[in-house]
Chains A and B, each alone.
Chain A
C-alpha cells in the first residue's frame, strides 16, 4: 500500500490516497465541489470549468480544475474562496445564457444537476439580453434516444461514454466554439446496445429516451433498488415507478459488477409490465380453447391429480425465476417424490461447464487484476453485455486479451490476439496445437488468467472448449468464469441439483415418465431450437401446466395456464449472478389482475393437495435456499438488507450439473441468439419491439457465392417451412457456415441437424412466375 498524502482544504486537514484527483479526495472527505463534465467512471476532460478551486502554488494562488489536478502532499486548497465563488457563478451564467430554461417541460427537471447547481452556486439572475442559440428540438438520434441540442451544455459525458466505455463512438462533437453541438454522423444513428447510459449520465435534459419522455416528474417517482435478471451479469439497478406503473430503470454503481452501466435491453425491457396483453386470469383448455377459470378450480383440479402418489410429475423451469421460486419447486418435488429427480432448465446451451474442487472460479473484478483474459464463448456483447463492458475496461487498463472463435467479432477489435477462422473450424474445434502458438503462450504461460468459457452454439462439442480449458489450466494460473448467458441460471445451479438442459428434456421426457408437466416461465416451442420435438412431447403428455406473463406457443398447447408476476419489479426474492454473487430482487409495483408469484402458486397448490408444507412464506423459502451456508455469510434477506451488503454477497458454489452433451449431427448451420429478439416481453416493450424484429441470417462469403445471393434477401426452406430472411455476409466466418439467430419467431422451427435449403429470392420469384 502506498502512503497517504495530507492536504489542507478550506482549513481542514484531510487525508487521501496519492494519485487521486482533488475532486475525488474532497468528495471522500465530505467536501462537495460542483461539476458537470467530471464523472467517476470517465476520463477527466476539464471542460465545463465548474470545479475550479484555488490552490496555493509558488506563484501564488491559482485557479485550477479539481477534476484534472492530482492531490499532492501539503497541498493547500480553497474550494469556497471569493475567487472560486466568482468563477462558479461565471461558469453557471455562461452555461445558462444559451440554455433554453424549459425546465417546466423538461424530464430532467427535479433531478437536474444544472438546475440543482444553479440553485446552489448560480448568480441568481441573468444579464444576457441577446437571442439564445437555437437548434431543431429534439432530434431522433436512434429509435429510442432523442437529443435536444439547445439543452446540451457540452460536457462530453455521452461522447466519452460511447468512446471509452462502450467502444461505439457514434455520437461526437461537431462544429466548434459557440456552434459546437453533439450529434451523430450522417446516416449513422446512435445504434448502440448501451445508449441508455448516456441518457442516465447526461447532466441536463439533452438526451432523453422515448421510453420515459414526458411520463413522470422525478419528485413523483417511487424507487427501489433491485437486480437485473436479464442475464447472469446481474447488474445493480434502481426501479422507478409512478402511480403503480413501472416507468424507468437506472443503473446503480455497484463497483464490483456493473459500475453504474446497463445494456439497453435491461434498461428498456420492462415496458411489457404495463401491457394490456398480460395474462391476468387463469385459463383452462376446454374444447380446444383456453377459457377463463377460477384459480381455486385450478388448485383443486391439480390437487386431485397430485394426491395420487402414482402421478409422475416433471418440471421445465425458465431462467428468470427467483432463487426462492426455484426452491419452492424443489420443495414441492421433494414432497411428492423421495426419489432423486432432475429439473430441466429452459436453456439449449446448458452443458457441464467447468466446476469442481480443482478449478478456481473467477469473480468479475478478477478481470481487472488478471494479466490476461481468454475468451471463448458466445458473443459476449450479445449475451452478457455489461460483462463485455468490464472486459473493455480491463483491456483499457492494460490487461491483455485473447479471443477465440469466429463468432466473437465484437471483441476482436480490442483483442491482443484474435484466433478467428484460421484457428477455429466451422465446427468450433481448435484447429492447431495451442502449445505451439507463440502469441498465446507469451500472454498466458505462468500468468494470472481469467478464462471466460462457454459454448458458442448448442451444436458445439464439449470437447473443443475443454481442450482450451485444459491448455489454460496446465499452462497458466487460471480462474474460470463459466459464461452461461440466461437470466438466473446461477440461481438455479445454487438451488437445484441434477439440473439438465433442453437437450436432455427432449431425450428424457415422454408420456411414459410424465403425467403432469409444469412449464414455468418458458416457451420452448416458440423459442428453442428443439421446437418441433418439444411440441410433440407436450402434445403427448396428459396434463401440462404453464405459468407465464403472456400467452405463447407453448401455453397455447397447455391444459392450464396460470398468470404469474414478473420477476422484474413485481416480486421479491434473490438472484445469483455469474460469480455466485447473490443480491436482492425487489418489488415496486403491484402485480396485475390475478397474477401471483410462482412460489405462491406452488405453495398454495401443495396446501390444497394436503401435502406437508415446510415453506409457507417467502422468508421460509429464502432461508431454505441458503440453509447449507454459514448463517452470517448467507444471502438471506436479513443479511442482504444490511447496507454493507447491498451490492450482494458472494458464496462460491460448485453446482452439480447433469446436462449431457448434445450429440446432434452438425450441419453448416449454427444457431445463437442476438441481444434483441422478439420474445413476448420484447414484443410488448415498445422501445425495443422494433429492435429485434428483423429476421436475418449471417453467411460466410463462400455461402453467398455458392447460393448466388445478390438481392439482399433469401428464403430458408425445409419441408413445409419457408422463411424469408435478409442476409449479411460475415467475413470472419470460415467457409460454408450460416448463422441463424433463433430468438426470432419461425427461425427456431427448423431441424438444424438436417439440411436447410437456401433459395435466393430472385430464384423464388422466377419459380412463382412459372
Chain B
C-alpha cells in the first residue's frame, strides 16, 4: 500500500522550507484562497465542503459541512482552530503546524469567507513551542502580503488571526474547555446544553471549532472540487487521513493514506511490521481514549464506521501497537494515569474516580491486588460510565472520565486472565 499525499505533499517536496511563504507560494499556495475570495461565493464553498463528505479529524468525526451549516446567525462569529493536539499517540497536527502552516492559514481564509467570519483563533497546545513559533511567523508573513488583515487580496473582505498558546492541559482539546481557556478562564468544559459552540461559543457568540487537519484539507478540496475529494477513500470515510503510527513497530511516524485498508496491511507495509517479528497482543486504533482491539482483529478496516462497528473509534488517527510481551495492566495504568492527571476536577466521578482507578491498577500491577479488585475496577468504571457501553454513557459533563474507562473495559473484557494472574491467590478478600 502507498501513501496519497494531499496535505503532506508540500512538506515532502520541500523539506527545507515548506513552512515559509515563498516556498508555499511557489507551489501555487494561496492561489485557491485568492480565487475563492475574488471569484467564489460563501454558498459555493459550503457546497464543495458538503460534496467532499469530509468528516472532522479531531476525533468525533462529525461531518464538517453539516457543522458549518449549524453556525447561528450573528454579527460576530468566530472560527477557532483546535490545535491543542494532546491525545496520547497523536502527532499529526504537529507536522501540519510546524511544516505547512500556510496551508492551514489558507484553509482558514477560505473557511472564514464561507462562514462570514472576521476573526479566527488558532489555539495551540502549550508544549508545541516550535509549531507555535512557525504558525506565528506564517501569520505575520500572510499579514505582510495582505492575505490577512483588512481588504485581503484587495477585496472588501477582512480577516484577523490570533495565535494563542495553551498552558498545558489536555482538557483544553475539548472544544468548550478550549473556549474557556481562550477567554482566560479555567480550562473546564462548559455545560451542553446550553453552551453549544455553534450557538453560544467564544464570548457567547456563535463559534466554529475545527481541527487543524480538517481545515488544512480545505484548500485541496476547493482547488480540486468536493467531488474529487469524495472519490478518495471509501464511503463514510472520504479523503486522506494522516495516521500517527507508534508503539512496537519498525517504522513509527505519520502516514497520509486513503481510508479503507486494514490496520494489519498498514502496519505490515508502511509500518514495516512489528519490531523483532513479534506478534501483536493488542492495539489502540484511535488514540488513548479508544477501546483496544486484540491482535487477532488486525483485519478491521481503517474507516470511521468500521472501527465504530467494532465498538471503538478511529478518533484522532493514533494507532499504537502493543506486542506480545507487553504488560497490558501497566499499559492500561499508564493511560489511566494520564487521564487522572488531566481531569479538570469539575465533576466528582471523573475527579475522584480516575485517580481511584489509577490506584487500584497500580496495586494490581505491583502485585498487591485483591480478588475483589476485579469487580471493584469494573464497578468504579460503571459509576463513571454507566453500563460500560460503547459509545460511552457518562455521569460527567465531558467524555474525559469515560475515556479513562476504555482501556480498563478492554483489559477486563479481552485480557481478564492476564489481570487475574497478577493477583496473589493467597489473599482472599
CB within 8 Å of B: which residues of A?
44-50, 52, 62-63, 68-70, 83, 86-87, 89-91, 93-95, 97-98, 127-128, 130, 153-154, 173, 175-180
**Given that A87-B395, A175-B345 are contacting pairs, would A97 and B356 also be in contact in the complex, using a CB cutoff of 8 Å?**
yes
B129 part of interface (Cβ distance < 8 Å): no
**Given that A91-B395, A97-B356, A178-B354 are contacting pairs, would A154 and B345 also be in contact in the complex, using a CB cutoff of 8 Å?**
yes
Residues of A within 8 A of B341 (CB): 177
B331 part of interface (Cβ distance < 8 Å): no
Residues of B within 8 A of A87 (CB): 383, 386, 395
Query: By the criterion CB–CB under 8 Å, are B349 and A90 in contact?
Result: yes
A175: nearest chain-B partner, CB-CB:
B345
**What DSSP secondary structure best describes chain B's contact surface?**
helix
**Given that A49-B347, A87-B386 are contacting pairs, would A97 and B191 also be in contact in the complex, using a CB cutoff of 8 Å?**
no
Q: How large is the interface on B (under 10, 10 to 19, 20 to 34, 35 or more residues)?
A: 35 or more
Within the complex, the shortest CB–CB distance from A299 to chain B, in Å, comes to 65
**Docked CA distance A177–B169 (Å):** 11
Residues of B within 8 A of A173 (CB): 186, 345
Residues of A within 8 A of B342 (CB): 176-177
**Docked CA distance A90–B348 (Å):** 9
Query: By the criterion CB–CB under 8 Å, are B351 and A178 in contact?
Result: yes
From A44, A68, A94, contact of B383 by CB (8 A): A94
B359 part of interface (Cβ distance < 8 Å): yes
| Proximity string of chain B (375-400) to chain A, C-beta cutoff 8 Å, 1 when within and 0 when not | 01000001110100000011111000
Give 10 CB contacts A-B under 8 Å.
Answer: A47-B346, A47-B347, A49-B347, A49-B348, A68-B191, A93-B383, A98-B352, A130-B356, A176-B186, A176-B342
Residues of A within 8 A of B372 (CB): 127
B363: nearest chain-A partner, CB-CB:
A130
Within the complex, the shortest CB–CB distance from B374 to chain A, in Å, comes to 12
Residues of A within 8 A of B383 (CB): 86-87, 89-91, 93-94
**Given that A68-B191, A130-B359 are contacting pairs, would A176 and B382 also be in contact in the complex, using a CB cutoff of 8 Å?**
no
A61: nearest chain-B partner, CB-CB:
B393
Per CB-CB distance, the 9 closest pairs between chain A and chain B, nearest first, are A90-B383, A180-B345, A177-B343, A94-B352, A178-B355, A130-B359, A176-B345, A47-B346, A177-B345
B169, B345, B352 — most chain A CB neighbours (10 Å): B352
Residues of A within 8 A of B382 (CB): 86, 90
| Proximity string of chain B (90-116) to chain A, C-beta cutoff 8 Å, 1 when within and 0 when not | 000000000000000000000000000
Within the complex, the shortest CB–CB distance from B288 to chain A, in Å, comes to 16
Query: By the criterion CB–CB under 8 Å, are A178 and B345 in contact?
Result: yes
Within the complex, the shortest CB–CB distance from B414 to chain A, in Å, comes to 25
**Docked CA distance A69–B356 (Å):** 29
**Docked CA distance A130–B359 (Å):** 7
Query: By the criterion CB–CB under 8 Å, are B345 and A49 in contact?
Result: no
Residues of A within 8 A of B356 (CB): 94, 97, 128, 130
From B351, B363, B394, contact of A177 by CB (8 A): B351
A36: nearest chain-B partner, CB-CB:
B348
**Docked CA distance A90–B382 (Å):** 9
Query: By the criterion CB–CB under 8 Å, are B353 and A94 in contact?
Result: yes
Residues of B within 8 A of A179 (CB): 345
From B349, B363, B393, contact of A91 by CB (8 A): B349
From B191, B340, B348, B359, contact of A94 by CB (8 A): B348
Residues of A within 8 A of B169 (CB): 176
**Given that A87-B383, A130-B359 are contacting pairs, would A49 and B343 also be in contact in the complex, using a CB cutoff of 8 Å?**
no
Within the complex, the shortest CB–CB distance from B391 to chain A, in Å, comes to 11
Residues of A within 8 A of B347 (CB): 47-49
Within the complex, the shortest CB–CB distance from A206 to chain B, in Å, comes to 15
Query: Could you count the A-B residue pairs with CB atoms below 8 Å apart for me: how many are there?
Result: 98
B372: nearest chain-A partner, CB-CB:
A127
Within the complex, the shortest CB–CB distance from A589 to chain B, in Å, comes to 41
Query: By the criterion CB–CB under 8 Å, are B352 and A95 in contact?
Result: yes
Within the complex, the shortest CB–CB distance from B339 to chain A, in Å, comes to 9
B186, B344, B376, B395 — most chain A CB neighbours (10 Å): B395
**Docked CA distance A93–B382 (Å):** 13
Within the complex, the shortest CB–CB distance from A616 to chain B, in Å, comes to 61
Residues of B within 8 A of A68 (CB): 191, 193
Within the complex, the shortest CB–CB distance from A213 to chain B, in Å, comes to 27
Query: By the criterion CB–CB under 8 Å, are A52 and B395 in contact?
Result: yes
Residues of A within 8 A of B359 (CB): 130
**Docked CA distance A180–B340 (Å):** 12
**Docked CA distance A292–B346 (Å):** 63
Residues of B within 8 A of A48 (CB): 347-348
Query: By the criterion CB–CB under 8 Å, are A178 and B348 in contact?
Result: no
From B363, B376, B386, contact of A83 by CB (8 A): B386
**Given that A45-B191, A46-B397, A95-B352 are contacting pairs, would A176 and B376 also be in contact in the complex, using a CB cutoff of 8 Å?**
no
Query: By the criterion CB–CB under 8 Å, are A63 and B395 in contact?
Result: yes
Query: By the criterion CB–CB under 8 Å, are B386 and A86 in contact?
Result: yes
Interface residues of B in 34-71 (CB under 8 A from A): none
A174: nearest chain-B partner, CB-CB:
B186
Query: By the criterion CB–CB under 8 Å, are B191 and A46 in contact?
Result: yes
Query: By the criterion CB–CB under 8 Å, are B349 and A49 in contact?
Result: yes
Within the complex, the shortest CB–CB distance from A615 to chain B, in Å, comes to 59
Query: By the criterion CB–CB under 8 Å, are B348 and A153 in contact?
Result: yes
Query: By the criterion CB–CB under 8 Å, are A177 and B393 in contact?
Result: no
Within the complex, the shortest CB–CB distance from B338 to chain A, in Å, comes to 11
From B187, B344, B354, B395, contact of A49 by CB (8 A): B395
Residues of B within 8 A of A176 (CB): 169, 171, 186-187, 342-345
Residues of B within 8 A of A47 (CB): 346-348, 397
Interface residues of B in 299-357 (CB under 8 A from A): 340-349, 351-356
19 more CB-based (< 8 A) A-B contacts, given A49-B395, A86-B383:
A44-B191, A46-B191, A47-B347, A47-B348, A47-B397, A50-B348, A63-B386, A83-B386, A87-B383, A90-B382, A91-B348, A91-B349, A94-B351, A94-B383, A98-B352, A176-B187, A177-B343, A178-B343, A178-B351
Query: By the criterion CB–CB under 8 Å, are A94 and B345 in contact?
Result: no
Residues of A within 8 A of B344 (CB): 176-177
A131: nearest chain-B partner, CB-CB:
B359
Query: By the criterion CB–CB under 8 Å, are B348 and A95 in contact?
Result: yes
Within the complex, the shortest CB–CB distance from B429 to chain A, in Å, comes to 9
**Docked CA distance A87–B384 (Å):** 8
Within the complex, the shortest CB–CB distance from A81 to chain B, in Å, comes to 11
**Docked CA distance A90–B340 (Å):** 17
Within the complex, the shortest CB–CB distance from B186 to chain A, in Å, comes to 6
A83: nearest chain-B partner, CB-CB:
B386
Residues of A within 8 A of B193 (CB): 68-70
Residues of B within 8 A of A180 (CB): 345, 351
| Proximity string of chain B (165-179) to chain A, C-beta cutoff 8 Å, 1 when within and 0 when not | 000010100000000
Residues of A within 8 A of B376 (CB): 127
Residues of A within 8 A of B384 (CB): 90
A133: nearest chain-B partner, CB-CB:
B355
Within the complex, the shortest CB–CB distance from B138 to chain A, in Å, comes to 32
A156: nearest chain-B partner, CB-CB:
B346
From A90, A97, A177, contact of B395 by CB (8 A): A90
From A46, A97, A127, contact of B352 by CB (8 A): A97
Residues of B within 8 A of A70 (CB): 193
**Docked CA distance A323–B363 (Å):** 70
Within the complex, the shortest CB–CB distance from B271 to chain A, in Å, comes to 34
**Docked CA distance A179–B345 (Å):** 8
Within the complex, the shortest CB–CB distance from A54 to chain B, in Å, comes to 10
Within the complex, the shortest CB–CB distance from A97 to chain B, in Å, comes to 6
Residues of B within 8 A of A83 (CB): 386
Query: By the criterion CB–CB under 8 Å, are A178 and B395 in contact?
Result: no
Interface residues of B in 381-423 (CB under 8 A from A): 382-384, 386, 393-397
**Docked CA distance A62–B387 (Å):** 12
**Docked CA distance A256–B231 (Å):** 66
Interface residues of B in 181-198 (CB under 8 A from A): 186-187, 191, 193
**Docked CA distance A93–B348 (Å):** 10
Within the complex, the shortest CB–CB distance from A42 to chain B, in Å, comes to 14
A60: nearest chain-B partner, CB-CB:
B393
Residues of A within 8 A of B397 (CB): 46-47
Within the complex, the shortest CB–CB distance from A79 to chain B, in Å, comes to 15
Query: By the criterion CB–CB under 8 Å, are B386 and A177 in contact?
Result: no
